[in-house]
Structure 1
Amino acid sequence: MKRRDFLKMSMASSPLLLAGCSIWPHLCRSCHPDQEAANKTTAATAPVEIAEPNENADLAETQDVSPKKTQLQLSDELLKDQRAKSVYFSQDFPDDIYFKGEKFDTMKTLTMKFRAVQKNIGFGNFNLISMDDFFRFSTASASIGGITAAEKKFLEEIFYFDAQKYGFTGQKVMHKFTDNVPKNKAVKIPRSGHYLIGGESVEVYNRVRKDIGESLILTSGVRANAKQFHLFFEKALSTQGNVSKASRSLAPPGYSFHGRWDFDVGKIGYGLKNFSDDFANTDEYKRLLDLGYINIRYTQSNLLGVRFEPWHIKVEDV
């Protein structure tokens, strides 16, 4: 089924889905946007990007690794400093929680369904859909076959699970499984494949771009619950089911400030290094710090159980 036909059928079966939303003009074009049309609709609110959208860009955030230590060395580090898990984020710790057996298999199956829906509706649009939207799009596709009751229960259990048990101590931002980002306020940033929420988030981004220059690009914007589930599952699969390790690189569903106003930036042409400590060595990062009004949410000294993220821009305190 062609993507346009798929979307028409999905919209017909769910008339409220994305109704009045600012992403409607871009449906089916988010992966290869009509740049001339996009510039006309967004030029007043956002600068023009010079990097092309990359459907795998968000996944780059999950691929970096930390320095290697033995289990004994890690235990010693934990006794000395509770931040050891953040520093050695890509290693296994004795108290890490794993998804095994049926849980791992269910997570793998759902990951394939998240991938399929993202492919069908487009990378950019997928950033904005709620879990209810995800269920409807899954049901509308014969190849996906919908979401089973057991799979939905699994998703809800993960969403409402206390992430502190993973070792993640950040705040919960999205409190309901069905919570969604305000699509009617979403502003598409040209050639990035991402959206920001209009208002302070766009204002901060525009200010940063003006002060730093066009070498600074948006690498990840607003993410609704479906997107965060997808990224978290992809990371957990890569860690062989170690969800504690996954949470040290990606906030569990419901806990990501990308669901509010925060966003990620990088240096054009820097590739995967934009999601590593290497970004902290760039002139762009140093200038971000020098500006003073830019905050990094996950600093080197954070006690949230999260790795250092020099690319993550904090827009608001909740």
Structure 2
Amino acid sequence: MSYLYYPGCSLKGAAIDYDESFRAVASALDIGVEEMKDWECCGATAAKSVDKNASVSLPLGTLKSAEKAGKDLLMLCPSCYTNLMSVKVKAQEDMVFKETHSLNKVPEIKQFLEVLAFDIGPEKLRERIVRSLKGIKVLTYYGCLVARPFRLGGTESHERPMAMERLVEATGAQTVFFPSKVECCGGTLLISREKVALKLCGNILKEAKKLAPDCIVVACPLCHFMLDAKQAAVEKEIGEKIKIPVLYITQLLGLALGIDHKRLGLQRLVTSPKLLLQKIK
């Protein structure tokens, strides 16, 4: 199992711990990863509102590079995934577009979460667990783009995805049903309407606090930034303490696979995971 890895901007910046934990987990599970050379920004959400041509040409360049390499594309950021998948679908359904842009074989595109949940699966993951997370209560949060508009694995529900729950439970940890797990974290509004963004994030964190989890697990860099890095700002806005550590799914799985917490980038979290780590030990 080998993939061409497209990191995207966040994984080389604010979400470097996602990149670190991904590489560690991929290695532990014998997943081959080759980082794409000279990769470029996917355009994220900004390109669509500024330059529609750029919002297509940027992902298109990545697809052409993957086609040339002859490998399936792997990524972690759901925004990157959505942009690339949108162009892939256009290339598959619009023959004029495909011929105009010289795409012969459109590569497969997968989120790492899909590889973990469907290609490897909970049973095979369970065989690799060396540190049980029994007694740990985990709340999974998907946000807007992980399971929408494209279904995880092609089959998961848009409104009630369960891929992360199955993976978390394979570690021995307990998951709790979270009604707000696909609600917006407010991340895209942080610059233009900060108070609205903090309120949206506050709604999620207040709901999470009621369930008393040991941690929240996410698969999106922007969601992680809002729930972790902005947690103190949210607390100030809503007038309520939260203090819940927020981990990437790769970080939690990495702990269960016996990987050192520093190699997983847990020291980079803004909201301390100290109590969680003590409970796991």
Q: TM-score, normalised by structure 1?
A: 0.29
Between Structure 1 and Structure 2, the one with more helix by share is 2
